[in-house]
Chain A
Amino acid sequence: MAEEATFFDEMRGPDGVPREPCVRFHDWIAGEDMARLRRKAAEAEAFFRRTGITFAVYGDKGADERLIPFDIVPRILSGREWARLERGIAQRVRAINAFLQDIYHRQEILRAGRIPAALIARNDAFLPQMIGVSPPGGVYTHITGIDLVRTGPEDFHVLEDNARTPSGVSYMLENRETMLQMFPDLFVRNRVRPVSDYPARLERALAQAAPPAAAGPHPVIAVLTPGIHNSAYFEHAFLADNMGVELVQGSDLRVHKGRIAMRTTRGFTPIDVLYRRVDDDFLDPLVFRPDSMLGAAGIMDVYRAGGITIANAPGTGIADDKAIYSYMPEIVEFYTGEKPLLQNVPTWRCSEPEALAYVRDHLAELVVKEVHGSGGYGMLVGPAASRKELAAFRRKLDARPGNYIAQPTLALSTVPVLTRAGLAPRHVDLRPFCLVAPGSIEIVPGGLTRVALRKGSLVVNSSQGGGTKDTWVLEE
């Protein structure tokens, strides 16, 4: 594993001098009283608690609602850095949508032999029910969250493509609101591009993807949530509230006159676009898990008949599957005819014998992930694991090699956080949010910066003790 000193710090460059976009912030914080900043940080926490910006941790009985720790030091990107990322993300998301369209129709990419057919056919994330189905407007991933990590001034890598129901955008928005309230002076000194129009943009993107059955110029949109016990419930309520649309649950929905309709105090109202924050498995008990109470029985039939838009479309998981991930460079090239602008992280597919042999021998240096896992559950961080943990993981690997991929431990960039002892560097990642409407792609300038609060830790997931930061994109 690399030495602490070799990590790229985004605030202070390798020579300890503040990097160009951070100069003004650096001057500001140098003149601040640390005790005052810590008081401000405590104020921010009280604000989050009061507003109810909490999340639930599964399997954590003691505290059923927790705060995601918020760090007041922003993560700052220059306009130029962002422009590059923006192009790369748009290219990647365009490719993902083309891939989904292809994989559920003609499967040209398989015929061309660019990715193995078995990888699709035997993949649980591939939904046969979506074969031949064309989503309204041709959009599969209305919302995509691309996880990026940085290892140097010019080196961004895509860690994951979240094409199912990416979460975290409410934190991007609330973090900014909090910063604006606490440190208005900072925003006078720095020209930070706003993110607050995200809900309006989301609403527009969803409305533009309305199905053929939608009547009138204002499609009825609703957000589908599993309910108050879901870890991201706050975000579901937040987005519905800020778009001014209903927040529905499975029990509110039923098929009514050939449409999916919500039960209101005045009768049943058809829904045109459903932004669902429920996984495919739970979407329709008649088609997927029969025991699901979270979806709407019959929604897939209505969907196939053009009676509703489901965002994201069912079956998009095949595009962010970790086994598919390693083929993303080929996928981008195949559909866009361009070289990928964003790099992938080198990935060993343990389903391949040679790769498996390498991974077994180098387990202590690698990060090993479950192909279908998410949220940092079930992964191994080799350099941080004990010998016993490594041996146990090796057994799991041997039992189901196809279930795993491995990647080198990346030297993730750091950004300072405010600690009791002053500023100290911690590792970060970045999840920008990309909106796709028929014929357009938009990316809000910013995203969710997650930060591993424990010194030296590389795991940024909130379920594993990570925090968040405000993410600034500066005007050029």
Chain B
Amino acid sequence: MLGRTAGGLTWMFRHLERAENTARLVETGFRIALTRPGDTQGEWASVIDTAAARAAFLARHERFEAPAVIDFLLREATNPSSVRSALKAARDNARDVRTALSREVWEAVNDSWLTVQAALARPVKERDLPGVLALIRQQCALVRGALHGSMLRNDMFNFTRIGTFIERADSTARIVDVKYYVLLPSIAQVGSAVDNVQWETILRSAGGYRAFRWHKGAEITPRGIAEFLLLDACMPRSLAFCTGKVAANLGYIAQDYGAATDSQAMADALQARLVGHTVDEVFEEGLHEFILSFLADLGALARQIETDYRFFA
């Protein structure tokens, strides 16, 4: 397989994951705005922060008003993480590596792009928003389904998985980091209504609101949330789960190629920081510090994969 193809597959699925994550952020913000009275600018601002887009947003808008934020996250062409930009990038990557994709996967991603592009041709009215967000989620699921149902389980498949889980780990880490202060034990003692909103936001952003209740029981505590999103082995968006998948897929490739790589060692080291540890140890290190160093290591891992597998000349 060409190194460029490996890079294209990885990024195609990073972009696809990003489109879905951005849509979920909008969904969360919108829900909070609907269910909580009062000024929601602060919530929308933290949504923008989670998307790592504060500077870009403020370059175009003065205030974090709902319509502006929603449009920026769904449609803005200059925002590379907007759903439209991310899906376009995924589809461009797919065209670039078309010979590596099954016909089903190519048609699914091309269809998704055509469908979502049409749905986002004009600013989305509030009454249409739930439908459009559902459509985006559905389209991303179709591509993933086509991937699982039709692709050979070889190195190409492994690179699509690596892209998916690097992006997802990055997203979950940012969701936690933007609101890390509400998860700290000292502040949690307050237990005010505001804090409950914050927790709900975190769980919904990570797609784990309902799962948390089923998995962890009724009581939502900051400690429980942190454990769930960072260390839980069953939660498919937790840092432990995602890094485990990255490490496993790198392992399959190394086995297939008969050559160990630096990136595999880095992924194993990253996973070792998450497996067999308790959330108390994380709090001891400092949640914010932990997340920052995790994000730095994740970025370094992504770059090492690019080098090891010759994504670029």
Interface residues of A (CB under 8 A from B): 49-52, 227-228, 233, 237, 240-241, 246-249, 251-252, 254, 262-267
Contacts and interface: CB of A to CB of B under 8 A. Distances in A.
13 contacts: A52-B106, A228-B96, A240-B99, A241-B98, A249-B4, A252-B2, A252-B4, A263-B310, A263-B313, A264-B2, A264-B3, A264-B310, A265-B1
A265 B107 contact: no
Given A49-B114, A228-B92, A252-B2, A265 B98 contact: no
A237 B4 contact: no
Contacts of B95: 52, 228, 233, 237
Interface string B103-128: 00011001100100000000000000
Interface in B86-102: 92, 95-96, 98-99
Contacts of B259: 266
B4 A251 contact: yes
B11 to A, nearest CB: 13
Given A227-B96, A241-B98, A263 B107 contact: no
Contacts of A249: 4
Nearest to B101: A241
Interface of B: 1-6, 92, 95-96, 98-99, 106-107, 110-111, 114, 155, 253, 257, 259, 309-310, 312-313
Given A228-B92, A237-B99, A265-B155, A50 B107 contact: yes
Contacts of B99: 237, 240-241, 246-247
Given A51-B110, A52-B95, A263-B313, 10 more contacts: A50-B107, A51-B107, A227-B96, A228-B95, A233-B95, A251-B4, A262-B2, A264-B2, A265-B6, A266-B259
Contacts of A266: 257, 259
B4 A50 contact: no
A383 B99 CA distance: 45
Contacts of B114: 49-50
> Most B CB atoms within 10 A — which of A249, A251, A262, A266?
A266
Given A50-B110, A228-B95, A247-B99, A265 B3 contact: yes
A136 B96 CA distance: 30
B3 A237 contact: no
Given A52-B110, A246-B2, A251 B96 contact: no
B226 to A, nearest CB: 37
Contacts of A52: 95, 98, 106-107, 110
A244 B3 CA distance: 17
Nearest to B7: A265
Contacts of B5: 246
Nearest to A51: B107
State the majority secondary structure of interface residues on B: helix
Contacts of A246: 2, 5, 99
A247 B94 CA distance: 13
Contacts of B312: 251
A264 B313 contact: no
B255 to A, nearest CB: 13
Contacts of B111: 50
A266 B258 CA distance: 10
Contact of B3 (A49, A240, A252): A252
Contact of B2 (A50, A241, A248): A248
A237 to B, nearest CB: 4
Contacts of B3: 252, 263-265
Nearest to A262: B2
Contacts of A265: 1-3, 6, 155, 253, 257, 309-310
Contacts of B310: 263-265, 267
Nearest to B110: A52
Contacts of A49: 114
A242 B114 CA distance: 25
B296 to A, nearest CB: 25
> Most B CB atoms within 10 A — which of A233, A252, A265, A267?
A265
A88 to B, nearest CB: 35
A305 to B, nearest CB: 23
The 7 closest A-B pairs by CB, nearest first: A237-B98, A265-B309, A241-B99, A263-B3, A228-B95, A247-B99, A265-B6
B262 to A, nearest CB: 14
Nearest to A245: B99
A50 B5 CA distance: 22
A233 B110 CA distance: 15
Nearest to B93: A228
Contacts of B313: 251-252, 254, 263
A45 B285 CA distance: 59
A266 B312 CA distance: 13
A267 B95 CA distance: 24
B52 to A, nearest CB: 27
A381 to B, nearest CB: 35
A152 B278 CA distance: 85
A193 B4 CA distance: 39
Contacts of A267: 310
A251 B8 CA distance: 13
A263 B4 contact: yes
Contacts of B110: 50-52
Contacts of A228: 92, 95-96
A51 B105 CA distance: 11
Nearest to A223: B99
A264 B1 CA distance: 5
A177 to B, nearest CB: 12
A193 B63 CA distance: 66
Contacts of B96: 227-228
A100 B98 CA distance: 35
> Most A CB atoms within 10 A — which of B2, B107, B114, B257?
B2
Contacts of A248: 2
B113 to A, nearest CB: 10
A263 B8 CA distance: 14
B57 to A, nearest CB: 27
B307 to A, nearest CB: 11
A51 B110 CA distance: 8
A195 to B, nearest CB: 19
A263 B2 contact: yes
Nearest to A250: B313
B144 to A, nearest CB: 18
Contacts of A240: 99
A234 to B, nearest CB: 9
Nearest to B114: A49
A224 B5 CA distance: 14
A249 to B, nearest CB: 7
A432 B45 CA distance: 61
Nearest to B259: A266
Contacts of B4: 249, 251-252, 263
B99 to A, nearest CB: 4
A50 B313 CA distance: 32
Nearest to B98: A237
Contacts of B155: 265
A160 B99 CA distance: 31
Nearest to A266: B257
Contacts of A264: 1-3, 310
